Structure 1
Amino acid sequence: MSNNPFYKSIKELRNIYEKKEASVSEISNAFIQRIKNLNPKINAYLEVFEKESNSDAKKADSYINNGNKDILTGIIIGLKDLVDVKGKITSAGSKILEKNIAKSNSKITNDFIEQKSVILGKTNLVEFAFGTLGINTNTPTCRNPWDLEKVPGGSSSGSAAAVSAGLCTFAIGTDTGGSVRMPASLCGITGFKPSYGIVSRRGVLDLSWSMDHVGPMARSAEDCLEAMKVISGFDIGDKYSQNIKSNFSKINIPNREEISIAVPKNYFFEDIDPDIKKAILSAANKFDNLGYKVEEIEIPFVEEGRNINVGVLLPEAISIHKTYLNKYDKY
């Protein structure tokens, strides 16, 4: 088996399978063993699907051996525990849903099954995905793999920690006010929040229907793109899905000067670690040198963004959770 598959990219894993350097079953079993060794310290996963993942891996091997291959065939995935997998508990990190067994798969779960991916399990999160630090008193405390005494960020804490620690190739998170982007940043990986309605939320528990997004978390923008090729697109079964062009499989930028990249002048650089500021400006300069149009802009009302976000989120969350409020003692 290829040495250390835990930090391979999606394309690198595909290459391993195509060259018969390792089977999906071998790679999957290696990840399972790594989870057994490291998860007790990191608590990235709430539930590991060992039996099911072994079955998924065998199906992927058979699929490949028959001359087939898809973008995510044999790729190792973790799902935030808001995403339904039929017959499995979707707890949202809450005691009140600890017996909430999904009756069907989410749309994106079906996407991965159709691709012959390997779903390793459900990842940890802040209760009901409402929080930024990654702390949840109902679940084992999720740790930042870079420093176990530091928070991983939230609410998609387990997804970020799992990717960062090499416990999956990529994971799915959700983002209502930063819950993909913040833990990705704190754990040193890439988090992508797609535009609203580009990825179906059917079968994913809500926090705020106006602002919830489903997105990939991986170790590179390229891996996030590979995931988006599969999970993006209009879903007639999701009333929030947007029927617009979002074909991530046909991204082509013939003229870089036609692409504008904005660097905000106000708010974001007012209270920032100098090293982070340096890294952001360095990245902007690289884009500029590559021929992209980099512009400084001022964003009106941006300082009120968090207050507006919470102002929309809270009443929607209360509406979603109204059936649970009579059972507040179980929270």
Structure 2
Amino acid sequence: MTTLTAHDTLPQTVEPRNDGMPLDLDWVMRATANRSAIERRAATLPGRRSVKKDHQAAWLARAISCIDLTTLAGDDTPGRVARLCAKSRQPVRRDLLDALGLPGLTTGAVCVYHDMVPHAVAALDGANIPVAAVSTGFPAGLSPFHLRVAEIGESVTAGATEIDIVISRRHVLTGDWQALYDEMAAFRRASGPAHVKAILATGELGTLRNVARASLVCMMAGADFIKTSTGKESVNATLPVSLVMIRAIRDYYQETGIRVGYKPAGGISKAKDALTYLALIKEELGDRWLRPDLFRFGASSLLGDIERQLEHHVTGAYSAAWRHAMA
């Protein structure tokens, strides 16, 4: 296996940034989604794609390198964040990493609220693991616009190198694509050198067609990633939604030559689910997107289940979940 670290695949060191393009409403309005076909395609994936033994271990290690290890709780403390950062530095027990030949494996990033950014930056000093901050009135995105823009700047100043913004869902639901474009473009400008992940909150957008159009508009306005969910909605990442967003990314790449990243978030907690998402990315976008500069999982409990599977691969036995503490 090849060792992957976050430093090797930071977005700003691998791909040119998505500078966006003028809003093309003709392209946006042509975007549609055939729900029945999409759901049939998504339903076939878990049963058709299965990897075993060494191949499974390698795919699971890749999944770890693509995790934004996340804590977004009202009772977060500096101590909790420090422990999460320690887990990000060493996501799997050292003896297991040594047995796998992956001593340098880390997660893709650590994702926290703004107040926890300085603590995460300090805890990750020297690790070359980026800190992502949720911003713009996360999760609802309903605070005053100037405060949402200012929040981005504060997080960047505090050391966040990735910003996860939330869009105003009403712009999508009312079809005000110019307003969504202008909002996303303003968030991108406020982020400066930090990479921007646009959270669409797909569970609140009503239709898959809206998901497709919102994906295109956010990419046109300069989003470096598009992300399914905040993790706070009643419906978060799903395979049908992912298929729609991934194909919008593919269309954008074919039109502009710019690769935009993808991040499913919320509800992905099992290793087998991570493998399914990786297979979907490989089939729809290709191997280039299977790296942390272009693909992330927004997750926390997922890592614990992957670690249990890797221990089974190394030792032949499953252990209790408490042996793989998250923080």
- TM-score w.r.t. structure 2 length? 0.30
Give the greater-gyration-radius structure (CA): 1
> More helix per residue: 1 or 2?
2
- TM-score w.r.t. structure 1 length? 0.30
